[in-house]
Amino acid sequence: MKKKCLFCKKEFTKPYNESLKNWINRHKFCSRNCVDKYKIGRNLSIETKEKMIKSHIGHKSVVHHTKDAIEKIKKARKRQIGPNSPAWKGGITPANTKVRNSIQYRLWRESVFARDNWTCQECSQRGGELEAHHIKSFREYPELRFTIDNGITFCIACHKIMDNYRR
């Protein structure tokens, strides 16, 4: 079966079989490229579309920057932290947040999980979403925050039923 492409007006054929019974009604373009070009300017006339396509032939979209511009771009892309960052608000992060996001705290959690074999000590569930619980309060005993013996592994459900869960 031969058809004429709606966009480029070329004749095209596609193999016909039982799975393509409605091929005549469905296929209106010779290629995916023609479909995309047709969709870009749907409300434009075919002549206008052809002119737009011809105007882009041989056009290179590469932008060449000067050395100064390249240096400015590199500087802008560098991750700015601390007082140099535009989002800096004067170091207002609470001490509690700094401690809980520290590497030392992360290592403490991993050590507690490893010691307890990644198993909830209340319901014996292995794996899943686990939380490291401080036996003696994180806030009241700052000297015991990173002591492995002050930690115990709970799953989320068991951690929520603890007396001192999130106060």
Question: Domain boundaries in the chain?
Answer: 2-55, 95-160
Closest CA to 142 of 131, 154, 150: 150
* SS3 state of residue 154: strand
The tens place of each residue's pLDDT in the chain, 167 residues long, gives 678 888 888 888 766 555 555 555 567 888 878 887 777 656 677 787 788 777 776 666 667 788 898 888 888 777 777 787 778 888 888 888 999 999 999 999 999 999 999 999 999 999 889 999 999 988 899 999 999 999 999 999 999 888 776 65
Task: Give dist(CA 67, CA 25) in Å, integer.
Answer: 55
Predicted TM-score (pTM) of the model is 0.48
Tally of CB atoms within 10 A around 31: 13
